[in-house]
Amino acid sequence: MSTDALAANEAAAETARPTMEVDIACVGFGPAMGGFLTTLTRAWKERPDDPAFASRVAPGMPLQVLCYERADDIAAGVSGVVTRAQGIRETIPELNPAEIPMAAAVTEERVLYLLDPIAASRRSWALRVGDFLLRALDRWAWRVDDDAFELPWTPGFLRKHGGLVLSLGQFNQWVGSQLMASGLVQIWPGMPVSAPVFAGNAVKGIRLTDQGVDRAGAPADGFMPGMEVRAPLTVVGDGPVGAVGQAIDWKLGLPEGHAQSDWALGMKMVIELAEDTPLKPGMVWHTFGYPEPEIFGFLYVHPGRVASVGIFVPSWMGDPERTAYRYLQHYIQHPALWRYLKDGTLRSWGAKSLQESGKHGEPYLTGDGFARIGEGSGSTNMLTGSGVDEAWTTGTQLADAVVELLRAGKEFSRDNLAATYEARRRASRIEREAEQAQNARMGFHWGMVRGMMGMALAGLTRGHVSLDGRIPPAREQIRPFSAKSVGVKQKEAERLLRAAHAGGCPLHDALMTARGWPDIEFDGRLLVSQQDALLLGGKVQAAAGFADHVVFRDLHLCAECAEKTCVAMCSGQAITRDAEGVGFDREKCVHCGSCVWNCAHANVEFRAGAGGLHSAEN
Amino acid sequence: MANGLQIVVCAGIVPDPLQTLEPVSGVDGPGLKNEMVLPAVLDPWAACALYEAARLAASVPGSKLWLVSLGPKAKLQQVMMTVGQKAAFELVAIDGPIGGFADAHATAAALAEAIAALPGLEPERLLVFGGWESATRGAGVTLELVGQRLGITDKFQGVDQTALREDGSFEVLERVEGGKHQVSACAGAPAVLGWATGSLAEPRNNPQTGMQNMRGIMPALQNAKTVKLDANGLRYMQVSLPKQQRETRVEKNMAPDAIARELVEWMAAE
């Protein structure tokens, strides 16, 4: 538990601040909240005179439902996805992908194992033998084209047939505009929520972030204390690193035996393809094996010659100098992809953390006055590699429960929410699939081959057979810094470390070059520096007057830390080595939250903050 | 000012300038590629006018502030969720086409008609604010034309500052050639002021202000009058974006003199 965060929370609670009463306070606008608010407003519109939808806090008014979103726009800062869209279609039967910009029905799926064409990746001997056989038997037993082996079929658990390729930013914008047009709910962007308001273990509402403060959060010019929004029900959908969800976890802990140990950083580019591209809207590629065996990748094709291409760098990749941007650049240059991407242009770029513990990481879903939905509630399914539809569905389940409680005139107590929302969730396909998936990733902690075997076992047996094991906390998955753990000779490691301390090339970048990864030949169009990706692709912004949302609890610990994985994994190069150990530049932060799980000493706090990505095409 | 001011801010919406913008030509003339996909913001020049108007209205008791905005209703709605947190106003929404390539005369006609129809409007209290330029197309004539249609003769452009006097007259600082300001005195409303940047920082997002505005924003959007802007024979020969060139590198300890020197060399080479 973060004592610093609790102390800060208590100090903030002492500040005199305006208050407001609403019926339902919602935190974070993503697919889960989209599902919640869409289901709620549809029920409302079906029976507008239903007294259940009369406000309890503002007599004579309709239900007061307010949603606060941290990002500057509800379309900003999320990701391209492929989803089965089962839950979304159940909520919106009339859904027409043509109405949603950048949406396409899935038309074709491929799974590719990518060989390493430049022999720089760190592959186990077993994998090397496999690669050798694949190449040796090319054209005899199978085909290896462009250093890629295509699986003859897409395993059922990965298939998204009948689903949609989406830009989540555009989808959120589409859903949000319909919700706001209904006039029944309000969605306020650019308004981070700093903490829940506790009364004992009950949540009585939320506290909005203070504005007009310095970097440390102390009142400065134009100080405006964040409003306290009190509500009988707080719906928490602020994602895996959201401030409200984290605070509830700190306060209540996780259920017995649960831990959020598996994480990944997803980083992607949105690329405008060449005019004569053969890639068709709705094509979906899943890849594995390159640029490192632990890194999975994807390519989804949107309408209008646009593709989302990206990778996932997982926590089980123990390299303390693991990184994402450089790997992403090598990934898109793999011959199997580069053939289609080389004449493309970068349109957008972004990154986010994914909570990959599934049911093992599920927090308390309900409590007195609050309910959790979406990724932060452990809904992401790591076997099927999907989270959007699952998140959406948890939102719809909560909305159904809320309508039931409103109609019954019951309060939003833990027991009532458990009997309605949790019961619905436990009885749903989301739960069944989550149970099947819960051990699917166990093997990856012993290497990629065993990981793939474990995943296949769990997937093909619907979870009946899987590898077992204990997954260590994410911070313990980071191997101590040594020449061996970073893959170079001792003297070379020391030299590069000295250079990095002196302000030279970032260490993770230098280490990759030292391990044989070729330098990136920037073309100014698709292959650009990380700072250009940040500004041209991510359009990153940070409004003044907010406190730093990334806080290092003990800088002495940072100074002594040999790993500094937070620096290597910082998506925006916002965390850098400096004289004090590390420094944070808020204006470069994309709010991916990777610093939280990439600290070997649990020394980083990720608080509520404004700004971040402004791209709406992610 | 016995009865306070009636300030009307004309403010369009534009694609968030941070987005990747690419001009395209369609059957309806020039536009931006995927413009409806891009998030929109209040035109930055007009936004300055809104903040100045809000300050002025707050300083004169009995004043009222309207925001008149023309654009696609769905986009207006999205923008208002942010703008509505920054200043208290009453929205007048006009559901019209997106983009900055509409004919300024047709746009001005729609705006002037909406302003003239405001209930309780008193010309002797009326100040029409707007942007001197626009982030989409800097013809800078729309506000002038709005003033003409409303019969307002006192018009100021490139305004950076106003100082209201007790008797309702005011002093205006207008940008003129050579980086200087021209000081004018105006006897009072009605007047048109096209703002440059003003001097106010962007206000904080205030949830109370947002809630207060929301009571009027949603009905205004629901009741938005739909207009079709005639091209009036307007034809664009060529459309382009300002040239951009990026050369990024990270420098942590470079002296300001060295940075300035390098910038000058870089500009001189262009």
Chain A nearest-CA distance from B101, in A, is: 22
Chain B nearest-CA distance from A277, in A, is: 19
For residue B254, the chain A residues in CB contact (below 8 A) are none
B180 in contact with chain A, both atoms CB, cutoff 8 A: no
* Judgement on whether residues A230 and A368 belong to the same structural domain of the protein: yes
Chain A nearest-CA distance from B38, in A, is: 6
Instruction: Report the distance separating Cα A386 and Cα A369, nearest Å.
Output: 29
> Is residue A567 within 8 Å of residue A576, measured between CB atoms?
yes
Instruction: Note whether A177 contacts B81, CB cutoff 8 Å.
Output: no
Instruction: Note whether B77 contacts A181, CB cutoff 8 Å.
Output: yes
- The answer to whether position A474 is within a domain reads no
Closest to A238 measured CA to CA, from A351, A420, A373: A373
- State phi, psi for A432 to the nearest 5 degrees: -60, -45
- The answer to whether position A95 is within a domain reads no
**B156 has which bridge partners?**
B193
* Judgement on whether residues A411 and A504 belong to the same structural domain of the protein: no
CATH number of the CATH domain containing A588? 3.30.70.20
For residue A229, the chain B residues in CB contact (below 8 A) are 207
Cβ-based neighbour number of residue B168 at 10 Å:
17
* Judgement on whether residues A594 and A501 belong to the same structural domain of the protein: yes
At a CB cut-off of 8 Å and minimum separation 6, what does B252 contact?
A503
Instruction: Note whether A529 contacts B38, CB cutoff 8 Å.
Output: no
**Count of domains in chain A?**
4
What tokens were used for A583? 């420094």
Q: Out of A529, A573, A614, whose CB is closest to B18?
A: A614
User: How many Å is the Cα radius of gyration of chain A?
Assistant: 24
* Judgement on whether residues A199 and A214 belong to the same structural domain of the protein: yes
* Judgement on whether residues A532 and A581 belong to the same structural domain of the protein: yes
Instruction: Note whether B207 contacts A180, CB cutoff 8 Å.
Output: no
Instruction: Note whether A176 contacts B19, CB cutoff 8 Å.
Output: no
| pLDDT < 70: residue spans in chain A | 1-13, 504
Residue A27: the pLDDT is: 98
Residue A4: the pLDDT is: 61
| pLDDT reading at B9 higher than 60 | yes
Type of residue numbered A489: K
Give, in degrees to the nearest 5, the angle at Cα A265 between A263 and A266.
Answer: 125
B252 in contact with chain A, both atoms CB, cutoff 8 A: yes
CATH number of the CATH domain containing A418? 3.50.50.60
Cβ-based neighbour number of residue B239 at 10 Å:
14
Q: Which of A67, A78, A187, A188 to mutate to test the interface with B (most CBs of B within 10 A)?
A: A188
Instruction: Report the distance separating Cα A465 and Cα A289, nearest Å.
Output: 24
- Domain encompassing residue A555: 483-606
* Judgement on whether residues A459 and A527 belong to the same structural domain of the protein: no
| A602: helix, strand or coil | coil
Give, in degrees to the nearest 5, the angle at Cα B235 between B233 and B236.
Answer: 160
What tokens were used for A335? 């011959």
pLDDT digits (tens, 9 = 90+) for A554-581: 999 999 998 999 999 999 999 998 887 8
CA distances (Å), B127 to each of B49, B150, B191, in order? 11, 11, 5
* Judgement on whether residues A311 and A185 belong to the same structural domain of the protein: no
- The answer to whether position A196 is within a domain reads yes
Which residue's entry shows tokens 């390299």? Answer: A319
pLDDT digits (tens, 9 = 90+) for A439-492: 888 888 888 888 888 888 888 888 888 887 788 999 999 999 998 888 889 999
* Judgement on whether residues A421 and A353 belong to the same structural domain of the protein: no
Chain B nearest-CA distance from A614, in A, is: 7
Q: Which of B13, B19, B20, B217 to mutate to test the interface with A (most CBs of A within 10 A)?
A: B20
> Is residue A290 within 8 Å of residue A450, measured between CB atoms?
no
> Is residue A25 within 8 Å of residue A186, measured between CB atoms?
no
- The answer to whether position A319 is within a domain reads yes
* Judgement on whether residues A176 and A239 belong to the same structural domain of the protein: yes
For residue A541, the chain B residues in CB contact (below 8 A) are 18
Chain B nearest-CA distance from A97, in A, is: 14
For residue B248, the chain A residues in CB contact (below 8 A) are 529, 531-532, 535
Q: Which of B14, B19, B32, B205 to mutate to test the interface with A (most CBs of A within 10 A)?
A: B205
Q: Out of B16, B214, B246, whose CB is closest to A186?
A: B214
- The answer to whether position A98 is within a domain reads no
What tokens were used for A497? 């470390």
Instruction: Report the distance separating Cα A88 and Cα A99, nearest Å.
Output: 14
B16 in contact with chain A, both atoms CB, cutoff 8 A: yes
**A231 has which bridge partners?**
none
Chain mean pLDDT for chain B: 89
Chain B nearest-CA distance from A524, in A, is: 9
| B67: helix, strand or coil | strand
Quote the DSSP letter at residue B174.
E
Residue of B nearest to A271 (CA): B20
Residue A13: the pLDDT is: 65
Instruction: Note whether A74 contacts B210, CB cutoff 8 Å.
Output: no
**Each residue of A19-29: b (16+ CB within 10 Å) or e?**
ebbbbbbbbbb
DSSP string, A321-371: T--SHHHHHHHHTSHHHHHHHTT-EEEEEEEEEEE--GGGG----EETTEE
H or E segment and range at residue A452: helix A448-460
- The answer to whether position A99 is within a domain reads no
- The answer to whether position A63 is within a domain reads yes
For residue A180, the chain B residues in CB contact (below 8 A) are 77-78, 81, 218
Instruction: Note whether B37 contacts A616, CB cutoff 8 Å.
Output: yes
CA distances (Å), A240 to each of A233, A389, B162, in order? 20, 16, 48
Residue B1: the pLDDT is: 64
Instruction: Report the distance separating Cα A371 and Cα A568, nearest Å.
Output: 35
Q: Out of B19, B36, B82, whose CB is closest to A189?
A: B82
Q: Out of A20, A208, A541, whose CB is closest to B18?
A: A541
Residue A10: the pLDDT is: 65
| pLDDT reading at B252 higher than 80 | no
B250 in contact with chain A, both atoms CB, cutoff 8 A: yes
Q: Which of A72, A180, A221 to mutate to test the interface with B (most CBs of B within 10 A)?
A: A180
Residue B74: the pLDDT is: 87
Cβ-based neighbour number of residue B24 at 10 Å:
11
* Judgement on whether residues A497 and A579 belong to the same structural domain of the protein: yes
Q: Out of B36, B77, B211, whose CB is closest to A180?
A: B77
For residue B221, the chain A residues in CB contact (below 8 A) are 181
> Is residue A348 within 8 Å of residue A251, measured between CB atoms?
no
Instruction: Note whether A173 contacts B78, CB cutoff 8 Å.
Output: yes
- What band does B34 get if pLDDT is binned at 50, 70 and 90? confident
For residue B245, the chain A residues in CB contact (below 8 A) are none
- Helix intervals (H) in A78-120: 86-91
| B52: helix, strand or coil | helix
Q: Out of A348, A536, A616, whose CB is closest to B39?
A: A616
> Is residue B116 within 8 Å of residue B152, measured between CB atoms?
no
Residue of A nearest to B245 (CA): A524
CA distances (Å), A592 to each of A51, A315, A351, in order? 42, 14, 6
Residue A5: the pLDDT is: 59
Lowest mean pLDDT among A30-39, A294-303, B113-122, B206-215: B206-215
For residue B249, the chain A residues in CB contact (below 8 A) are 529, 531
CATH number of the CATH domain containing A285? 3.30.9.90
- The answer to whether position A41 is within a domain reads yes
For residue B218, the chain A residues in CB contact (below 8 A) are 180, 183
Q: Out of B204, B208, B252, whose CB is closest to A212?
A: B204
B206 in contact with chain A, both atoms CB, cutoff 8 A: yes
Instruction: Note whether B207 contacts A503, CB cutoff 8 Å.
Output: no
At a CB cut-off of 8 Å and minimum separation 6, what does A334 contact?
A114, A117, A146, A147, A148, A290, A291
Instruction: Note whether A72 contacts B82, CB cutoff 8 Å.
Output: yes
**A21 has which bridge partners?**
A230
Q: Out of A20, A211, A529, whose CB is closest to B204?
A: A211
Instruction: Note whether B20 contacts A18, CB cutoff 8 Å.
Output: no
Instruction: Report the distance separating Cα A406 and Cα A415, nearest Å.
Output: 15
B205 in contact with chain A, both atoms CB, cutoff 8 A: yes
What global pTM score does this model have? 0.92
* Judgement on whether residues A182 and A70 belong to the same structural domain of the protein: yes
Domains of chain B and any CATH numbers? 6-226 (3.40.50.620)
| A232: helix, strand or coil | coil
- What band does B250 get if pLDDT is binned at 50, 70 and 90? low
In this structure, the strands spanning A283-288 and A108-114 are parallel
Residue B269: the pLDDT is: 80
For residue A348, the chain B residues in CB contact (below 8 A) are 20
- What band does B21 get if pLDDT is binned at 50, 70 and 90? confident
Q: Out of B77, B210, B249, whose CB is closest to A177?
A: B77
* Judgement on whether residues A16 and A156 belong to the same structural domain of the protein: no
